[in-house]
Amino acid sequence: MKYIWLIPLLPGLGALVNGVVGIRAFSRKASGLLACATMTVALGLSLAAFWQLLALPTGARAYDVVIAQWIPKIPLATRNGFAAFEVPWGFRLDPLSGMMLLVVTGIGLLIHVYSTAYMADEPRGGVARFFCYLNLFCFFMLMLVLGNNFLVMFVGWEGVGLCSYLLIGYWYEKKSAADAGKKAFITNRIGDWGFVLGVFLVYYTFGTFDFRAVQNAAAAMPIETHFGVLSAICLLLFVGAIGKSAQIPLYVWLPDAMEGPTPVSALIHAATMVTAGVYMVGRNAVLFSHAPMVMEIVAIVGVLTALMAASIGLVQYDIKRVLAYSTVSQLGYMFTAMGVGAFSAGAFHLMTHAFFKALLFLGSGSVIHAVAGEQDMRHMGGLKKYQPVTFATMMIGTLSIAGIVPLAGFFSKDEILSRAFLANKAVWVIAVLTAFMTAFYMFRLMSMTFFGNYRGPAWETTGHGAAALAATHGVKHPADPHAHGRAQRSDHEVTHGPAEPHDETGKDDHAHAQGHGPWHGPHESPAAMTYPLQALAVGAIIAGFVGIPAALGGGNTIEKFLEPSFTAAAASETAGAEVRPRTDATEEHETAHVSAAVEIGLMAFSVLVALAGISLAYKVYVTSPEISEQLAERWAGAHRLLLNKYYVDELYNGTIIAGTMAGGRKLWTFDRNVVDGAVNGTSWLTVISSWFSGLTDRTVVDGLVNFIGWIVQEGSLLFRRFQTGLVQNYALLMLFGIFAFVSIYLFVR
Amino acid sequence: MITPVHYMLLSAALFIIGVVGVMVRKNIIIIFMSIELILNAVNINLVAFSAQLQNGIGQVFAIFVIAVAAAEAAVGLGIILAFYRNKETINIDEMNLMRS
Amino acid sequence: MAQAIAFYFIAACILGFAVLVVTTRDTVHSVLFLVLDFLFVAALYVLLGAQFLAAIQVLVYAGGIVVLYLFVVMLVNLKRPPEAHEDPHRRTKLGFGLAAAVLLELGAIAVYGSVNPAAPMPATPAIPVSGNTEQVGWLLYTSYLIPFEIASMLLLVAMIGAIVLAKREL
């Protein structure tokens, strides 16, 4: 456990080596192996640290390591006089960060392995670059997770944003990818602004950055009934979380982030980075539970995001976009949990979601890989027989996210639903509706992809002539642009996928050697891709068992395990001596499970809802596909609305972006007319006044000077005659002086 | 009876001879010697009054005058040498480098 | 009477040699006349009872300064007569006139002074030594010590200055 600081450092080192040396020197395999090796060691260390953490008694499960001082002590003004501003490179292992640690390193490792196969077609330096970014991401993410104060967390927070930008724009030759990266970065920046302000306010209020000190200080403060300083802090931090975790209104970047390679989507935009906001809220659970107003806002934002994203997901055709909206929706779920005070339920859902969403993304990557970069589900179908492993694992993931009984998603989602039911019925209703939609769109995805008949283009079974290549490339530009709608036009560009770079670089020989040159039809992916799928499928099944609620005879282990991270004094060694402040979390905890019967009823209901969604989707998309078209026609307006994602992007374009640009143009006009005019006017005035002063100078001043000179010249006519340059004439003057003095003596005395 | 008036007259005559020498000669060495004559005239006056007043203060001043004369002669002759080396002349009428 | 004869003789010699110094064409002769002039001035000092000063006059003037003049006269090897060039702006006549006027005035003052003698000066404090040399030395080392030191400093500076000026490579 002493070496937890090595956990982030190892991927960082891998990134350094891959970035500095690898891009030029390493082969694909070497860079992949290096990245995987660092992650493997990190995972091993994490497991060991986690094991040691479990061995500690419940109250003392927190461990701090400070490896160096970052910012030495500076006295800085706070609300209560001066405090020492100091920031150590400190890492903390406690139940919450331990769980996140395992999620990040575990899923990170699986995705690294997956990427070695998925990115195999990239040019050599590109692979090293990819793994460099991926390792760098892990480094920052682990920093974020392990940091024991706000600033170290902020380093990770910004770092993952940077890596997200780099990885979304990995295919930077493609304008849509570069734009998506920029969009993600800028949108995140808005959130980071809030986060930074929150951190400043934290320092100003508490005089420290350390999570534990802040928690203890906050726990001593009364719960705010009005909007006070804690509420302000929480609101600002939540703005940060909104940006990072893609909630309303800053969620727009996440669907576009699907421009990145699929493993990136799985790791960053499903499993880890986007959950950083949730993690951060959980990290500051004590603060948030002291600000009930902000908690309400969190819950409302979360549940609305869940509903909205799920509804958009109902009609999307791009397989990755469906998953992206699903991710947004599930993140909304997590925030709902946080908002109703069920911090451990939110964190639990975070963990299970990491498993099944990473599984689904990797599965979709496998599918895309199989159909040569196609992402439009209307051109898939019937892939079950070509990709049995992918189908089976994705089915597990789908059932898990839908919340079918023994799978991971069931327990976590049900926990959130029951807590929401206790807290607020309206929230619960919306959450259940979202659960229904989730089941529906996920099964729609499965149906369109794996069931039914294959709808994609034909493929050559023999040889690789020009026709085969034409067919391959023809896939990428379906001949029916009208069906997609305007908003999805960018999706055509998305469909280039991983097949593109070798097309562009023209390394066909090499591509043939890899066996990916001409497309031989849908096929199962290589083992390096399917093994992570299977591992994640196992995770998606069993991850929920740590959180079997009491109503079903389980101990809800995860909640008890995580509980200390969400209360203030539990983390400190003197827990027994202090009066333990009662927080919302503990109160909720005591009242949460009053009625086992109600809870079982709720569970049954949610399962029924999920099953209803699944069966409806099966009916609509498998048994009688024409219904979907009829539905789309009957509700054409709603359909179009959803297809265009509620026109939020257009709204932002129309208001904020256009407003900014119009404002910029106004400022430019102002600049040109008023400022430039003022400058020009000033210079004109200067010219005029200088002309006058020049005139004055020439006439008055010069005249005066010349006049004085003239006086001197004329007046010197007399004295000039004495200046002969002859010594003896000067002596004569002296003699004259003597004569004068003697005369004075003679006549005056 | 020789009174101080005689010495004063002698002194005045010697002084005027020196002055005339300074005024009329163009050989700068002779001009310097005329200056020595002037200084001697002063000394005669000082010593005469010293004798008249029966104290030695006048003689002390005469000694100072001699010291100054020695210094003046040394520096002045050095200047003459340096000038002669540059201009090959000791004619005071040609020493007008400062004239515009 | 003998004193008067001596004075007039010495005064005549002083003035005569002084006129010769000023008027002689040959510079070397002029210097030699100067030596004679200085020697007669020394004799006048003896007549006035200032033996120490007379000795100094002989040693410093006749022995030191005039030798210096002679050296310079020998060193400046004149190729053309120094009086050749004449500046047109010279005011020699004016100089003569002024000199004559000053002489007349001085003479007038002296005669006037002898006719109307000034009030006698108050008696100076007695000096505890007798004899001319002791008297001068006593004054130099008591009342006039600082001027004496300054004079020595002046001579030192003049010496250095003369060396620097006369050096061939300045």
pLDDT tens by residue, A139-174: 999 999 988 888 889 999 999 989 888 888 888 888
- Judge whether C96 lies within some domain: no
- Judge whether C126 lies within some domain: no
- Judge whether C119 lies within some domain: no
Half-sphere exposure of A71 (CA within 13 A, CB side): 13
Tell me the two tokens of residue A685: 């005035």
For an interface test with A, give the residue of C87, C96, C103 to mutate (most A CBs within 10 A).
C87
**Taking 50 as the threshold, does the pLDDT of residue A296 lie above it?**
yes
**Cβ distance of A728 and B92 shorter than 8 Å:** yes
**In sequence order, which residues have a C-beta less than 8 Å from that of residue C110 and are 6 or more positions away?**
B5, B8, B9, B12
- Judge whether C111 lies within some domain: no
Q: Are A44 and A171 in contact (CB under 8 A)?
A: no
Query: What would the 3-class secondary structure string for A18-60 be?
Result: HHHHHHHHCCHHHHHHHHHHHHHHHHHHHHHHHHHHHHCCHHH
- Judge whether C150 lies within some domain: yes
C73 in the same domain as C2: yes
d(CA A587, CA A49): 31
In chain A, which residue's Cα lies nearest the Cα of C89? Answer: A724
DSSP string of A294-354, one letter each residue: HHHHHHHHHHHHHHHHHHHHTT--BHHHHHHHHHHHHHHHHHHHHHTT-HHHHHHHHHHHH
- Judge whether C2 lies within some domain: yes
% residues pLDDT > 90 (chain A): 3
Exposed/middle/buried for A1, CB within 10 Å: 0-12, 13-18, 19+? middle
**Cβ distance of B81 and C124 shorter than 8 Å:** no
* Dihedral sign computed on CA atoms, order C23, C28, C33, C37: positive
CA-CA-CA-CA dihedral for A563, A566, A568, A574, to nearest 10: 30
Query: What ipTM was assigned to the predicted interfaces of this complex?
Result: 0.90
Closest CA to A603 of A549, A664, A546: A549
**Taking 70 as the threshold, does the pLDDT of residue A573 lie above it?**
no
d(CA B19, CA A625): 140
pLDDT in tens, A181-215: 888 888 888 889 899 999 988 888 888 888 888 88
Closest CA to A476 of A519, A441, A526: A519
Q: What is the pLDDT of residue A469?
A: 42
C135 in the same domain as C74: no
User: Which three-class secondary structure state does DSSP give residue B45?
Assistant: helix
Q: What is the pLDDT of residue B13?
A: 92
Cβ neighbours of B90 in C, within 8 Å? 76, 78, 82
d(CA A654, CA A649): 8
- Judge whether C125 lies within some domain: no
- Judge whether C29 lies within some domain: yes
Half-sphere exposure of A111 (CA within 13 A, CB side): 34
pTM of the model: 0.61
* A728 closest CB neighbour out of C90, C98, C99: C90
Tell me the two tokens of residue A618: 């099966």
Q: What is the pLDDT of residue B64?
A: 93
d(CA A298, CA A336): 7
C69 in the same domain as C1: yes
**Taking 60 as the threshold, does the pLDDT of residue A279 lie above it?**
yes
Domain region containing C58: 1-78
Q: Which of residues 29-68 of B touch C (CB under 8 A)?
A: 29-30, 32-34, 36-37, 40, 43-44, 47-48, 50-51, 53-57, 59-60, 62-64, 66-68
Closest CA to C41 of B11, B29, B22, B74: B11
Q: Domain ends where: C46, C78, C110? A: C78
Please state the domain count of chain C.
Answer: 2
B93 against A204, higher pLDDT: A204
Exposed/middle/buried for B18, CB within 10 Å: 0-12, 13-18, 19+? buried
Mean pLDDT for the stretch of residues C104-108: 87
Q: What is the pLDDT of residue C79?
A: 62
Q: Domain ends where: C57, C78, C99? A: C78
C74 in the same domain as C135: no
**What CATH number is attached to the domain comprising C26?**
1.20.120.1200
d(CA A631, CA A629): 5
Q: Domain ends where: C54, C78, C102? A: C78
Closest CA to A164 of A98, A92, A243: A243
d(CA A429, CA A427): 5
% residues pLDDT > 70 (chain A): 87
C70 in the same domain as C142: no
d(CA A22, CA A15): 9
**Taking 50 as the threshold, does the pLDDT of residue A574 lie above it?**
no
Q: What is the pLDDT of residue C9?
A: 93
Exposed/middle/buried for B73, CB within 10 Å: 0-12, 13-18, 19+? buried
pLDDT in tens, C74-91: 888 666 666 667 777 777
Q: Does B96 touch chain A (CB under 8 A)?
A: yes
C65 in the same domain as C4: yes
Closest CA to A139 of A158, A154, A159: A159
Cβ neighbours of C108 in A, within 8 Å? 746
